Amino acid sequence: MNYFINVILPIPLEQSFTYAITQAEADFLKPGMRVSIPFGKSKIYTGLVESIHQNAPLVYEAKQIHQILDDMPLVTSVQLKHWQWISKYYMCTVGEVMRAALPSAFILESETVISKNSKVQINDEDLKDDEFIIYEALHHQSSLKIQDLMSILDKKNVLPVIKRLLEKEVINVQEEIYEKYKPKLVRYVKIATAHTSEKALQELMESLSRAPKQRDVIMTLFSVSAQTKKPVKVSELIEESGSSSAIIKTLINKEILEEYHIQTDRVQYEGDDNEASKRLNEHQELALNEVAQSFENQNITLLHGVTSSGKTELYVKLIESQLSNGKQVLYLLPEIALTTQLVERLQNYFGEKVAVFHSKYSSHERVEVWNNVLNNSHKAQIVLGARSSVLLPFQNLGLVIVDEEHESSYKQFDPAPRYHARDASIVLASLFEAKTLLGSATPSLESYFNAQQGKYGLVELKHRYNNVLMPDIELVDIKDKHKRKRMTGHFSDRLILEMQETLKDGHQIILFQNRRGFSPIVECNTCGHSPQCPNCDVSLTFHQYRNQLRCHYCGYNSAMHKNCEACRSVELDSKGFGTEQVEQEAKLLFPDHNVARMDLDTTRGKYGYEKIITALEQQEIDILVGTQMLTKGLDFRNVKLVGIMNADNMLNFPDFRAHERSYQLMAQVSGRAGRTKERGKVLIQTYNPFHRILQQVSTNNFKQMFDEQMDERHTYKYPPIYRMIKITLKHKDYQKVNIGADWYAKSLRTVFGKHVLGPEFPPVARIRNQYLKHILVKIPQKQSLGKTKEAIIKINNSFLSIKDFRAVRVILNVDNY
């Protein structure tokens, strides 16, 4: 008898590959185990067993495997089913899904680069001979390819050794290592409660009459807090009063001063007592009951709860009930919202049952989470993770929560699999017969439409927690303000006035501008020329801080020009404005306040993002200028005013989702204002205050926005009424892309007729020297999705078989966002 296995390789192959195994191996192997296998002339790969059978391949002779790498399946049968679904639905290979799913340490191949793990102390005696040889080699060379190790060890079969070394944490597979950020604790002081009454205070001052230095400190504390209306830092108090930390310490010891940290949401989990979850208010309680009821006959429920309505606390209750039934919970968040803020909030309730899964985690950490989830360990009862956590090996999933379900970053853009984590998680849940809760203050049209159609349950939460009112949103007509000369730079007199008031009361401000840099277009006043990226068809953005012109598509940069490249004129003007310019103007307008900026440029470095959030929480920043990074579910206590600098460029973006997106962005960023006690204020500056979307944002009228946008989607046949597949052709030769796209579109039209749009160049038609052209296929609801994809794949295969087109890259994007 001959035995074979079908193996999934982590590369884009249409089919799995068949390898020969012995009978003993056949008895031992199970689907989901890894094997080390030869491929091509000299490559080795880690492959995953898909099935075990006795059918020899017809067209090639099956090679033998090198070795079995696991004792137990690493990937579950549910996962294999899920991967199949993703591959079929999103038109990619299972190998591509496997590569996205498995931490790189699990899929070693000849090209993998390894290096020494300098964080771990190694005892030579703990290493077997072959392990030691590799360990030694890494002393002489900082990194080695696995291919190199084959010659060092003089054998082909090296993956098992590498695997052992990884398990002993002797080596790392090369990648960016991400360290967790621990905020620095800032010390604050206040007068101890025992002394705050007027009488007690008087007595205190008298008692200090013979300790003038201590008295000074107290006096300074009063004057500083009266002036700034903000918590007073120990460092500030020492400086202002000219005293020393010893004096402050004495006052603390005498219990005159009280020391504290602003850390309400950030208590580090210490490993013992968990905090009890909060008591829900009546609205939350009602909503929770409605969710439970909805789950009785629906698998998917949409929770539409306004910003700061306490959705997170409601999730906490649902999680508690799942845990008490011994089920695992997946809590999905957009990558950027996965901050310490939320992680710690959940750890306070659930302690070490929370596992965090993040693309920035090191391979060791990801492997650890993987194993904990696979073993259904108590350390991974709740997985809090970004997009790729839908690919983890759950055993006993009971509930999926998709927070901020409208977020477009749930869709993977590049490379394949181009999956949508929300939709993939719904399918995952269904494989477990588990429930899915989608949550958002601004649901996607897709989900709200599904709820309306009865496909999803719908629960609404309309009150903010503590009955804080929704922010008061005011539209400022900047066309009129310009006419009346009431603008200072990009700030209207209204905005400046509100900012002054806010700062006077010691509150904080967020200013939103969805472009980074100083100004997106530099233009010559004489001849109209504007500097372009040499690699992309797009204008370069001026970044004043570095005096550079930068391309936001490919990263190209050059020094800012002194003269026009075309006519040498010195009259260069900049058009439009980005966060950098807003920051600069705010600093000039409010020189006595701290202004900071949060965008891709300021958050790139290690902890960049977390540092800014911490500084804002600790009230070291008065005015924060930022891009849409600001909108992602952050909970700041003291932000009272939000200014949207210019609503128009979002609204005019050439995309059928531009209006929906603008609504979501503006409503979300507005939601950062006034989250406790006092009502927040939002000012939206615009040239077009009568725009429907702005009217709807300012009256918080989601339903009207939904109805009007759905009308348009009906009329123009866009999602969620029609489905869409976007086909992108890419090549460095303009003509090739053009001719190829015409051929492709023509073939599609013979099948789909008028439902094919394009080919068309996108607004930026060349990126990194590659020309792009898009074709859209719209799919009416009644048309079979499966058959549509089959037809497209057929056309795609004929396309790629034409010699001239073979070099053209084709990207298929299902449900493109």
Comparing CB distances to Zn ion, the nearer of 500 and 569 is: 569
Kindly state the smallest distance separating residue 280's Cβ from ligand ADP, in Å: 5
Query: How is residue 146 written in tokens?
Result: 């696995």
If we measure between CA atoms, which residue out of 436, 453, 437 comes closest to residue 445? 453
In terms of CB distance, is 667 or 694 closer to ligand ADP?
A: 667
Q: Cα separation of 279 and 285, whole Å?
A: 9
CB nearer to ligand ADP: pick between 549 and 667:
667
Question: Which among Zn ion, ligand ADP, none contacts residue 488 (Cβ within 5 to 8 A by kind)?
Answer: none
Asked whether 323 and 329 are in contact (CB, 8 A), the reply is: yes
Relative to beta strand 34-39, strand 3-8 is unpaired
From start to end of 124-262, where are the E strands?
143-145, 171-173, 188-191, 232-233, 257-260
> Is the CB of 540 or the CB of 810 nearer to Zn ion?
540
Tokens of 272: 């013992």
Contacts of 365 (CB under 8 A, 6+ apart): none
Quick one: what does residue 494 bind among Zn ion, ligand ADP, none, with the CB cut-off 5 to 8 Å set by partner type? none
Smallest gap from Cβ 552 to Zn ion, in A, equals: 8
Decide whether 384 or 737 has the Cβ nearer to Zn ion: 737
- Which of ligand ADP, Zn ion, none does 536 bind, CB closer than 5 to 8 A by kind? Zn ion
279 contact choice in Zn ion, ligand ADP, none (CB below 5 to 8 Å, kind-dependent): ligand ADP
Q: Which option in Zn ion, ligand ADP, none does residue 308 bind, with CB closer than 5 to 8 A by kind? A: ligand ADP
**Shortest distance (Å) from residue 557 CB to Zn ion:** 9
Min dist. Cβ of residue 33 to ligand ADP (A): 41
Q: Which does 329 bind (CB under 5 to 8 A by kind): Zn ion, ligand ADP, none?
A: none
CB of 466 to ligand ADP, least distance (A): 7
The residue (of 288 and 533) whose beta carbon lies closer to Zn ion is: 533
Closer to ligand ADP by Cβ: residue 217 or 402: 402
**How far is CA 147 from its chain centroid?**
35
Q: Cα(412)–Cα(813) distance, rounded to whole angstroms? A: 10
**What is d(CA 19, CA 52) in angstroms, rounded to the nearest whole number?**
10
**In angstroms, what is the minimal distance from the CB of 629 to ligand ADP?**
17
Task: Give 340 or 541: the residue with its C-beta nearer to ligand ADP.
Answer: 340
Residue with tokens 């440029």: 601
Shortest separation between residue 676's beta carbon and ligand ADP, angstroms: 7
Lay out the sheet containing 143-145: strands in order across: 143-145, 113-116, 171-173
683-687-689-692 Cα dihedral, nearest 10 degrees: -110
313 binds, among Zn ion, ligand ADP, none (CB under 5 to 8 A by kind): ligand ADP
DSSP state of 725: E
Q: Least CB distance from residue 658 to Zn ion, whole Å?
A: 23
Q: Residue 702 CB, nearest distance to ligand ADP (Å)?
A: 14
| Nearer CB in complex with ligand ADP: 215/278 | 278
Tokens of 29: 């192997």
List, edge to edge, every strand of the sheet that includes 63-64: 63-64, 17-21, 3-8, 43-53, 34-39, 67-68
Q: Which does 603 bind (CB under 5 to 8 A by kind): ligand ADP, Zn ion, none?
A: none
Between residues 540 and 651, which has the closer beta carbon with respect to Zn ion?
540
Angle, CA of 452, 454 and 458, to the nearest 5°: 65
**Side chain identity, residue 772:** L
Least Å distance between CB 740 and Zn ion?
23
Give CA 178 to chain center in angstroms.
15
Q: Residue 365 carries which side chain, given as an amino acid letter?
A: E
Whether residue 527 is annotated as binding a ligand: the answer is: yes
Provide, rounded to whole angstroms, the least separation between the CB of residue 310 and ligand ADP. Answer: 3
Alpha helices, H only, 278-420: 282-297, 311-324, 340-350, 363-374
If DSSP codes are grouped into helix, strand and coil, which group holds residue 154? Answer: coil
Helix (H, G, I), strand (E, B) or coil at 571: coil
| Binding partner of residue 312 among ligand ADP, Zn ion, none, CB cut-off 5 to 8 Å per kind | ligand ADP
Q: Which residues bind Zn ion (CB under 5 A)?
A: 524, 526-527, 529, 533, 535-536, 551, 553-554, 556, 564, 566-567, 569
CA distances from 105 to 46, 99, 173, 406 (A): 10, 11, 6, 32
Residue 683 binds what, of Zn ion, ligand ADP, none (CB under 5 to 8 Å, by partner type)?
A: none
Nearest one of 599, 612, 603, 669 to 639, comparing CA atoms: 669
Write out the residues near ligand ADP by the rule CB under 6 A.
278-281, 284, 305, 307-313, 465, 635
Q: Which does 156 bind (CB under 5 to 8 A by kind): ligand ADP, Zn ion, none?
A: none
Is residue 70 within 8 A of residue 49, CB to CB? The reply is no
Q: Is 92 annotated as a binding residue?
A: no
Cα–Cα distance for residue pair 599/582, rounded to 1 Å: 12
Distance (Å, whole) CA 425 – CA 402 = 8
* Shortest Cβ 324–ligand ADP spacing (Å): 19
The item of ligand ADP, Zn ion, none sharing an interface with residue 526, based on CB under 5 to 8 Å by kind, is Zn ion
Cis peptide before 417 (omega within 30 of 0): yes
> With respect to ligand ADP, which residue has the nearer C-beta, 131 or 635?
635
The residues, ordered by sequence, that sit 6+ positions from 300 with a Cβ below 8 Å of its Cβ are 426, 429, 435, 436, 437, 438, 450, 455, 456, 457
Task: Count Cα neighbours of 267 within 13 Å in the Cβ-side half-sphere.
Answer: 15
- Closer of 241 and 530 to Zn ion (Cβ): 530
Q: Is 554 annotated as a binding residue?
A: yes
Q: Which residues are annotated as a binding site for Zn(2+)?
A: 524, 527, 533, 536, 551, 554, 564, 567
Q: Which residues are annotated as a binding site?
A: 524, 527, 533, 536, 551, 554, 564, 567
